[in-house]
Structure formats: structure tokens, C-alpha cells
């Protein structure tokens, strides 16, 4: 097994665990965390796909996509957590 394949399989497992958590949990916070875990799995798959072998350089496009995706994921997580907090405040009233 190559190192890139191990990373890709690990990313697939992370993605499946995140989707499972998102679909089966009742808590909104657990669902948000599940989405983050599945996103990390996708990022790991993209980075492992960029590796072409020892003799060839890696492809920079998937790395750029992962960096952009990280920024978007952090922003979306912050928005989701703010909405979760607002919903909890509305339930308390």
C-alpha cells in the first residue's frame, strides 16, 4: 500500500464517520461537528490525490482547493455556531 492510498482511505473513513454523525445525532452541535469531520475527510482525499509519485512534483491545484475550502469551512462553522447559539437563546425565552 502506498502512502497516498493510506491517506485517501483515511479520508474516506473520516468522511463516512462525519456523514454518519450528521445523519444520526439529535444535537445540532454534534451535527455541525460531523460536518466538520466529513469536510476534513474530503480535504485529506484531495491532498492524497495531488501526490503523483516520488519522481514527479505534486499537483498544486488540489492544494489550492483545500486552502480555499478550509477558509470557507471555518466561516461556515462560525456561522452555524452563531445560529446554534441564537436558537438556544430563543428556546430559553
Domain ranges of the chain: 3-92
* pTM for the structure as a whole: 0.84
| pLDDT value of residue 2 | 85
Q: Which set of grid coordinates corresponds to residue 86?
A: 441564537
pLDDT in tens, 33-86: 999 999 999 999 999 888 877 777 777 888 899 999 999 999 999 999 999 999
The arithmetic mean of pLDDT across residues 1-11, rounded, is 90
CATH T-level topology, domain 3-92? Helix Hairpins (1.10.287)
Whether 22 and 36 have beta carbons less than 8 Å apart is answered as: no
- Contacts for 11 with CB less than 8 Å, ≥ 6 apart: 40, 41, 42, 43, 44, 45, 48
Q: Between 60-92 and 28-50, two packed helices, what is the crossing angle to 10 degrees?
A: 180
Residue with cell 462560525: 78
The arithmetic mean of pLDDT across residues 12-22, rounded, is 96
Amino acid at each position: 500500500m502506498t502512502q497516498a492510498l493510506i491517506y485517501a482511505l483515511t479520508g474516506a473513513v473520516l468522511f463516512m464517520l462525519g456523514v454518519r454523525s450528521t445523519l444520526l445525532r439529535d444535537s445540532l452541535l454534534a451535527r455541525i461537528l460531523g460536518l466538520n469531520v466529513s469536510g476534513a475527510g474530503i480535504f485529506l482525499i484531495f491532498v492524497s490525490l495531488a501526490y503523483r509519485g516520488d519522481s514527479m512534483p505534486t499537483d498544486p491545484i488540489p492544494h489550492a482547493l483545500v486552502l480555499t475550502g478550509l477558509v470557507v469551512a471555518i466561516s461556515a462553522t462560525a456561522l452555524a455556531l452563531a445560529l446554534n447559539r441564537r436558537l438556544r437563546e430563543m428556546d430559553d425565552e
